[in-house]
Homo-oligomer: A and B are copies of this chain.
Amino acid sequence: MTERASETTGELIDGTAVVVEPEGRPFGDSTARAELDGADPDATGRALLAELSAGLGAGSVLTDPDTVRPYVHDEAEWAGYGTPLCVVRARSTADVAATVAACARARVPVVPRGAGTGLSGGANAVDGCVLLSLERMTAIREISPGERLAVVEPGVVNDDLRAACAERGLWYPPDPASAPWSTIGGNVATNAGGLCCVKYGVTRDYVLALEVVTATGEVVRVGRRTAKGVVGYDLVGLLVGSEGTLGVITEITVKLRPARPAAPRTVVGFFDSLADCGAAVAAVTEQGLQPAVFELVDREVLGAVNAWRNAGLPENAAALLLAQTDLPEPAAQAEADAILAAFDEHGATETMASTDETEAEALFAARRMAYPALEQLGMGMLTEDVCVPLPRMAEMLARIEEIGRRRDVRIATVAHAGDGNLHPLMLTPHGDAAARDRTKAAFDEIIATAVDLGGTVTGEHGVGLLKRDGMERELGPEVLALQRAVKAALDPDGILNPGKAV
């Protein structure tokens, strides 16, 4: 069992995700459409379809509702979506360029998508759009140990790249929970994070160069292969995390690290109070320790794991902290000891450390089983993604608990504790409209609280549709105006993923 099904709106049957329709469109407006300048949209659509089919081959252009359906939304619970004109399954940069150029001429929106594992609605269809799927562009073009880089097409699945790198003694660190399914193109479009970014950084930190199809259908290369370079503005960094609104990424050059030599050491601690838990995280940070993974699961998650697997985890614990160190020995032993001591000194009721890989796996089970265990509850699950300054994390956790109690919403939280990045998972009974309203209110309140505490409304999932209101709250009108000026400069007709993110 993996995390994916739990982060979707569906269930796993024999390992295959079954898409369950979101229950409505409470968040975000996904029906934005580029200006058509008074042309008849139906005639425009028909002409565009004919042009795309003729240019790309009929097999690359899907219009049958049953084949289109799996493409129309990502895994964001409740994010709205519209009805696309068609799905284009691009096989090459030339396909992408031809599609975008045709859409630009017709002023029809283009919504690029990878594997559709996003959690904010960023890849959801808008009415009348061309859904441009990159999933067939799966070539790993190059892995260079001499330059420590790889060149891949956007449809390469994260874990496939990681596996190919491992064979060459190299490592691509960004490891979102969706790594077995999500694509590098999608990871780049959302600037995906993951578990090991607490020490090794997020996707943006690994992108050296991009081949991009611009809003006019032009193919350009930005960035560089060299280790350093300061020519011109950082268009690579600008495109990373732009959620398909500035260009369609058709090739990615990523930086790699040498493979890590040894299995990490794992340390865990249970805490009776969120304040103690927050103090322990702060102590680890302040002492200059650098865990390669530093996670938290809260009491709701512990309870769900116990209920599902009779795991015997202490249910009175407010939270569990899990840390891993990947230093070379004996420094790893010393770092593990120091983390353990920090846990003990800050009120941990129980601590454990692994001495081998099997033991480490067992200690990590509570984190690994979080999503599937919660899924057993058979409820809708809205995944939140706030991030706060580390010293405010305990307060944020307490506020989330309080909001859940007051709003009568069941909230289970997992967190990348070392980053202050919290994923409150908001559980709502299917078909209960009143519960949905309460959840929506809690969602808004959690976002507002994160901003009040100096944090951000999205640490790693992206703005998409779900966080557009939050983004306005966080950035304010002046910065939003700068963001929109950049969007207008690179996509003046607004055809790239309109209505999403900026």
Which residues of A are at the interface with B, using a C-beta cutoff of 8 A? 144-148, 169-170, 190-191, 193, 197-198, 201-202, 204-205, 214, 218, 220-222, 224-235, 237-238, 240-242, 246, 258-259, 282, 285-286, 288-290, 327-328, 331, 387-391, 416, 418-421, 454-463, 467, 470-471, 474-475, 478-480, 482-483, 485-490, 501-502
Asked if residues A230 and B478 are in contact (CB atoms below 8 Å), the reply is no
What's the Cα separation between A291 and B488 when bound, in Å? 43
- 16 CB contacts below 8 A, A to B, read A147-B285, A205-B205, A226-B454, A226-B455, A230-B456, A231-B457, A231-B467, A232-B475, A233-B241, A233-B486, A234-B240, A234-B241, A238-B486, A258-B290, A482-B490, A486-B489
Look across to chain B and name the residue whose beta carbon is closest to the beta carbon of A246.
Answer: B233
- 9 closest cross-chain pairs (CB), A and B: A258-B288, A237-B237, A489-B489, A328-B331, A229-B456, A227-B419, A485-B489, A228-B459, A226-B387
Given contacts A169-B288, A222-B479, A482-B220, contact A227 B390 (CB under 8 A): yes
Copies of the polypeptide in the assembly: 2
Q: How far is the CB of A356 from chain B (nearest CB, A)?
A: 20
Asked if residues A225 and B454 are in contact (CB atoms below 8 Å), the reply is yes
Q: How far is the CB of A101 from chain B (nearest CB, A)?
A: 14
Which residues of B lie under 8 Å from residue A224 when comparing CB positions? Answer: 387, 455-456
What's the Cα separation between A479 and B219 when bound, in Å? 10
Q: How far is the CB of A120 from chain B (nearest CB, A)?
A: 9
Given contacts A146-B286, A147-B389, A238-B234, contact A478 B218 (CB under 8 A): yes
Chain B CB count within 10 A is highest, among A230, A479, A490, for A230
Which residues of B lie under 8 Å from residue A290 when comparing CB positions? Answer: 258
Asked if residues B227 and A471 are in contact (CB atoms below 8 Å), the reply is no
Q: Which listed residue (B145, B282, B419, B463) contacts A230, Cβ 8 A?
A: B463
Which residues of B lie under 8 Å from residue A220 when comparing CB positions? Answer: 478-479, 482
Given contacts A285-B146, A285-B148, A490-B485, contact A502 B190 (CB under 8 A): no
What's the Cα separation between A391 and B205 when bound, in Å? 22
What's the Cα separation between A502 and B475 when bound, in Å? 27
Which residues of B lie under 8 Å from residue A389 when comparing CB positions? Answer: 147, 225-226
Asked if residues B288 and A226 are in contact (CB atoms below 8 Å), the reply is no
What's the Cα separation between A227 and B235 when bound, in Å? 22
Asked if residues B232 and A501 are in contact (CB atoms below 8 Å), the reply is yes
Asked if residues B482 and A235 are in contact (CB atoms below 8 Å), the reply is yes
Which residues of B lie under 8 Å from residue A193 when comparing CB positions? Answer: 228
What's the Cα separation between A482 and B491 when bound, in Å? 10
Given contacts A230-B462, A233-B486, contact A146 B225 (CB under 8 A): no
Given contacts A147-B390, A230-B460, A463-B232, contact A486 B490 (CB under 8 A): yes
Asked if residues B231 and A463 are in contact (CB atoms below 8 Å), the reply is yes
Which residues of B lie under 8 Å from residue A327 when comparing CB positions? Answer: 328, 331
Which residues of B lie under 8 Å from residue A240 when comparing CB positions? Answer: 234
Look across to chain B and name the residue whose beta carbon is closest to the beta carbon of A388.
Answer: B226
What's the Cα separation between A229 and B471 when bound, in Å? 11
